[in-house]
Homo-oligomer: A and B are copies of this chain.
Amino acid sequence: MAGKRVAVIGASGYGGLQTLRLLQGHPAFSVTFLGGERSSGKRWSELVPFLPLEGDPVVRRPDAGEIAAAADLAVLSLPNGLAAGLVPPLLERGVKVVDLSADYRYRSLAQWQEVYAAEARQVPRSDQDLCAEAVYGLVEWEEEAIRSARLVAAPGCFPTASLLALVPFLKQGLIETRGIVIDAKTGTSGGGRAAKEHLLLAEAAEAVAPYGVVGHRHTSEIEQLAGRVAGQPIQLQFTPHLMPMVRGLLATVYARLRDPGLTADDCTTLLRAAYRDRPSVEVLPVGTYPSTKWVRQTNRCLLSVQVDKRTGQLIVMSAIDNLVKGQAGQGVQCLNLMAGLEAGTGLPLLPFYP
């Protein structure tokens, strides 16, 4: 199984950079194609002097034929709407794809077109079959499907943290499906590397603010899997907030327990059972709450549970690194599974602290 060849498309954005970094030193993959639009034709070392790659390759325009000639697997880290143009020809040529964008996260193309209306207006799509075929790459819950997939849609960062917290409780029917609140906090790297005024250090430092209140796109992505797991449609409240930090994502999830007798210890036991053989998810002892700093630059999700007996509320806290478990690291987990490896192969689980 040694030496699978991987193409990384969108190499100099954060998703691409992170994927490349994670693949350095990976025991079974080598990067054999670097693709990008704006940066095509440039030597890697000019673009990214701080992450030397062997042979200092030139970034190339992402042509499906050339990618297929060079690689067995491809990771696409492109703006929403663009992967849909590249995925069909890659699959035809036998290249397996992990897509980090939202293009294949919905089983229904129509839903994608509704949620990503602006992109849909720019990009005519008719690949409903691929939407239905694509596997949602939440590794801890879809491992078997990912192993045999040609096309995996890596989940968004907010859905990853939120669903890892919610799914075990929904699956067991332990919480009410109405009234769920997810209050999420993310670092600014989630907004990508393209320059935007509100992500300047001068604007975002010393600033905490909500955005996308009611109707943020990730709401429907969370609801899709949550509803499937619960066996009924779910409508929940999801509110993201921008934090003055580079990386890290914390979801604080509030739900009402069906059985008011359940304790935090009970819930912790349940979570530990659910993630027993999933080294990427760790459940903290009751009373220890996760910090985003504890998962920085790791592929780990830290969960912790608290129960308020007075109010009957369950509170699940879920911390990830938005660029690793929330994006590129989960993408590499999927690559690993698609190549017949253990999901965690080559991925870091321990932070450099502080």
Contacts and interface: CB of A to CB of B under 8 A. Distances in A.
Interface of A: 14, 17-18, 21, 24, 48-52, 178-179, 181, 183, 185, 187-189, 191, 193-197, 199-211, 213-215, 235-237, 239, 241, 243-248, 250, 252, 254, 256, 282, 284-285, 288-297, 302, 306-308, 310-311, 313, 315, 317, 319, 350-354
Contacts of A48: 353
| A-B residue pairs, 8 tightest by C-beta | A50-B294, A209-B291, A207-B293, A195-B195, A183-B183, A201-B201, A189-B202, A201-B204
A14 B201 CA distance: 13
Number of copies: 4
A289 B213 contact: yes
- Max count, chain B CB within 10 A of own CB: residue among A24, A183, A201: A201
B206 A289 contact: no
Contact of A211 (B189, B203, B213, B289): B289
Given A49-B288, A51-B353, A250 B195 contact: no
A317 B210 contact: yes
Given A185-B208, A201-B204, A208-B245, A51 B350 contact: yes
Contact of A206 (B208, B296, B310, B317): B296
Given A21-B351, A206-B293, 5 more contacts: A51-B350, A200-B201, A205-B246, A207-B245, A210-B289
A350 B214 CA distance: 29
Given A49-B288, A208-B248, A352-B21, A235 B310 contact: yes
Given A183-B183, A214-B315, A353 B206 contact: no
Contact of A51 (B239, B254, B351): B351
Contacts of A21: 350-353
A343 B346 CA distance: 23
Given A185-B208, A351-B50, A214 B293 contact: no
Contacts of A206: 187, 205-206, 245-248, 292-293, 296
A245 B196 CA distance: 18
A245 B244 contact: yes
B202 A14 contact: yes
Contacts of A211: 289
